[in-house]
Structures are given as structure tokens and as C-alpha cells.
Structure 1
Amino acid sequence: MFANNLKYLREKQNMDQMELAIKLGRKSSSSISEWEKGKYTPKIGVLNDIAEIFGVSITDLMNKDLSANVDNRNKVISMYDSLHEERQMKVYSYTKQQYNDQNKIIQMPEPTPEAEYEEFELFGAVSAGTGKYLTDNKPEKVMYKGIVPEHDFAVIVSGNSMLPLFEDKQILFVKKTDEIRSGQIVVVDYDHQAYVKKFVRDEKSCRLVSLNKEYKDMPIDEEHDIHIYGTVVL
């Protein structure tokens, strides 16, 4: 998703690869080309710079098809322009109602018998599949329906390698720690990409394990850089 979004945003602003490279403090456009081809993803600091240049959030840059939103918007505008004035007013009234309803949910959530909405800061995505990223600045404030447990930071799952325990787009709350035990679910930086995995240590090896058996284990050894962010609050 990142590769397509980067190319879309760059072309939308009539910016060539070299111009973007200069804005990012690079002497050549080779990295931009490789990013747009999907060969690899830049580190979090560069992702943050790219998000700022194009005025988008890192979460949207990495996980949302930004071009699809514009295509849908253009289609709606085109259809609206072709309507008679009376029908345009009906569309406007309906759109305004939807906008107000949305803002009521986000800004002034009504308590329910089951749970209330709480606001917390979301620090990006962790992969339950291929690697993602984790930002250490500019978290997004989001609303969560349910009980927010005691935690140090929160992330959103991307992928299905941790099914059936965690689903794609599920919010995870994490407690920071440098000490982990075998069997715990952890959020880690593995070769500069962020993951949520099960940590396993036994007589065979130390490794990060996916609950979905379609995914291979990730060995923890001297050939890989690893940093523990914390354990998931279950």
C-alpha cells in the first residue's frame, strides 16, 4: 500500500522523484524509485518526513488506499453536478445529516449500557504478516468503545498472522518492558520493522512465532536486529 500511495501523492503534486529526494535530504532518486516499486520500505523517521511533506498521517500512508478516496470523491461530485437543483438540495441535506451524526460519535460519544467511548493515542501499526512500522512521535488520537486497560502505548494490527487471537485492524494495548517470558505476546522491532508475535524460548531456539501456521517462525539470533517494545495486555 505504501508504494502505491507514495507514487500517487507525488504525482498528484506534480513532483518528480528527484524533487522528493531533495526534500528528504537525499542526493539521488534511487531510493524513491525502489520505494515506489515496493522493494523495501523506509525507516520510521523517513516515513514521518514523507507524511509531513504530503500532509497525511503515517497510518493512512501505510494502510489506506489514498487514491481510492479521491476517485470516489470525484465520482460523487460528478454525479452531484449532473442532478437537478431540487435533487442537489436533497443530497446536501443527507450529507449534512451524515456529517453531524459522525461528529456526534467522534466528539461527543453517548455512553451505552455495555461500554463507553474513551480517547487514547494510537502509535501506528504493527504487522501480523509482513513488517510494518511504529512511530515514536505524533500519535493519532482515536476513540475506543470499551474499557481501555492500563497501558503505555497502543497500536493497530495489520494482517492476519496472529489469528485467531488478534484480527486485522484490532487495537492492541501494550506495556513497555525489556524483560519477557516465553509464551508472551510481544510487540517488537525486528530488522527495523514492527511486529506483534508470540515469543518462544525452548531447547531448540529463541524465535518469534505466528499463531496462524501459514507464516514461518522468525529466528532470534545474531543475524537479526531485535528490540522489544513491550508485551500486549491480554
Structure 2
Amino acid sequence: MDSAYFLSQHDIVEVYTRLNENNKTKTLKYSQHLLEQQDKERNLMKNKRYPYRVYEKLSAGTGYSYFGDGNFDTVFYDEEIDHDFASWIFGDSMEPIFLNGEVALIKQTGFDYDGAIYAIDWDGQTYIKKVYREEKGLRLVSLNKKYADKFAPYDENPRIIGLIVGNFMPLEG
């Protein structure tokens, strides 16, 4: 048969019924083998895990020291998301979207627009916050309403590390 020929379910059954018992057994065993291989491939794709190197901690609260010592943890997630680096989220001020213990994925950018969520370095601390540019500094806003806004004056050199482009809770083992 031509390799471009497409067999329908009816065509396969018709061929199968014309086989002798020995060839029916071989056909069934081979078909089961193909199905097992297909299922294994599907499960591998479904259970694919992508490694992420997670550095430092970003505070979703009062701030967390930024050591810059190069230490990292390797965690896994079932989706590959484009980013420049990843950092731990520490605190609850960005709940319900960014949870304590999650990984924040950061794309190193400058300031794009007011109200975007960024990683910020300010006064020796790192934060994850909604950021608004104001005349005398950056206003850092939490999503969790129990936290007041913070104000980072320009003369204290607050630095946008990058835009938060994703977040996830690492997969278990």
C-alpha cells in the first residue's frame, strides 16, 4: 500500500478479519506494543519537567536582603516559560496572585509602564510590587490590601530589576 494511504477503522477491521488466527495474534500483540509505546510517549510529554535555577528571594512584604552570592536552588515545573532569571517569593503582600514560596520569573527590562509588576532593588532589599513612577520616586503597591504602599525616592537609587513574566509553585519531587 502507498504510505500516503489513510486507513479508516473499517479498513483495519476488514484486513484483520481476513487474517488467519496466527497472524491475528501477531497483529494484536504488535498493536498492543504500539499502543504501549504511544502511551509512554504521551505520559513523558505530559510529565515533562523543566528545570529552573532559582536565585535569592524577592519580598512580597517588607523586603529581603539581596546577597548576590550566586547560590541557587534547582526546581522543576511542567511548563517552559521564557525568562532571564528566577527568584523565590517571600511574604504575602502580593497575594492572591503571587504566593509565599512560589517562584517569580523575571525578564530583565527597564520600566515599561505604570502598574506593571516588577522586581525592584531598593535600599539593599528586593521586592516584587506593582510599580508607579511619580515625580520624586517609585510608588510600590501591594496586591494584598492589608499592606500600605511603599515609596522609594529617586535619591535612594531604587532599581528596576525586571518585569515579572510568570510565577509558579515548584512541582514536588
TM range (shorter): 0.5 to 0.7
1:200 and 2:127 aligned: no
1:167 and 2:99 aligned: yes
CA deviation digits over 1:81-123, x for unaligned, max 9?
xxxxxxxxxxxxxxxxxxxxxxxxxxxxx8463x522112111
Alignment match, 1:124:
56
CA distance in structure 2 between the aligned counterparts of 1:194 and 1:213, rounded to whole angstroms: 20
Larger radius of gyration: 2
Provide the TM-score with structure 1 as the length reference. Answer: 0.48
CA deviation digits over 1:163-202, x for unaligned, max 9?
1110110111100012331011000111110000001246
CA deviation digits over 1:14-52, x for unaligned, max 9?
xxxxxxxxxxxxxxxxxxxxxxxxxxxxxxxxxxxxxxx
Q: How many residues align?
A: 124
CA distance in structure 2 between the aligned counterparts of 1:232 and 1:222, rounded to whole angstroms: 21
1:232 counterpart SS class: strand
CA distance in structure 2 between the aligned counterparts of 1:232 and 1:198, rounded to whole angstroms: 10
Amino acid of the residue matched to residue 97 of structure 2?
L
1:223 to partner: Cα distance? 5.0
More helix per residue: 1
1:135 to partner: Cα distance? 4.1
2:110 counterpart SS class: coil
1:203 to partner: Cα distance? 8.5
Provide the TM-score with structure 2 as the length reference. Answer: 0.63
1:181 and 2:113 aligned: yes
CA distance in structure 2 between the aligned counterparts of 1:138 and 1:220, rounded to whole angstroms: 26
Q: 1:226 aligns with which of 154, 158, 172?
A: 158
Amino acid of the residue matched to residue 189 of structure 1?
D
1:173 counterpart SS class: strand
Question: Whose relative contact order is higher, 1 or 2, with alpha carbons under 8 Å and at least 6 apart?
Answer: 2
Amino acid of the residue matched to residue 212 of structure 1?
N
Change (3 A) 1:217 1:174: same
1:162 counterpart SS class: coil
Alignment match, 1:100:
none
Alignment match, 1:213:
145
Change (3 A) 1:200 1:120: same
CA distance in structure 2 between the aligned counterparts of 1:145 and 1:112, rounded to whole angstroms: 13
Change (3 A) 1:111 1:137: farther
1:204 to partner: Cα distance? 10
**Are the counterparts in 1 of residues 89 and 103 from structure 2 also a CA contact under 8 Å?**
yes
Change (3 A) 1:143 1:112: farther
Q: Which runs of 5+ in 1 are unaligned?
A: 1-109
More strand per residue: 2
Percent identity of the aligned residues?
31
Alignment match, 1:140:
72
1:162 to partner: Cα distance? 0.2
Alignment match, 2:122:
190
Change (3 A) 1:221 1:228: same
Amino acid of the residue matched to residue 185 of structure 1?
I
Amino acid of the residue matched to residue 150 of structure 1?
D
Root-mean-square deviation (CA, aligned residues, Å) is 2.4
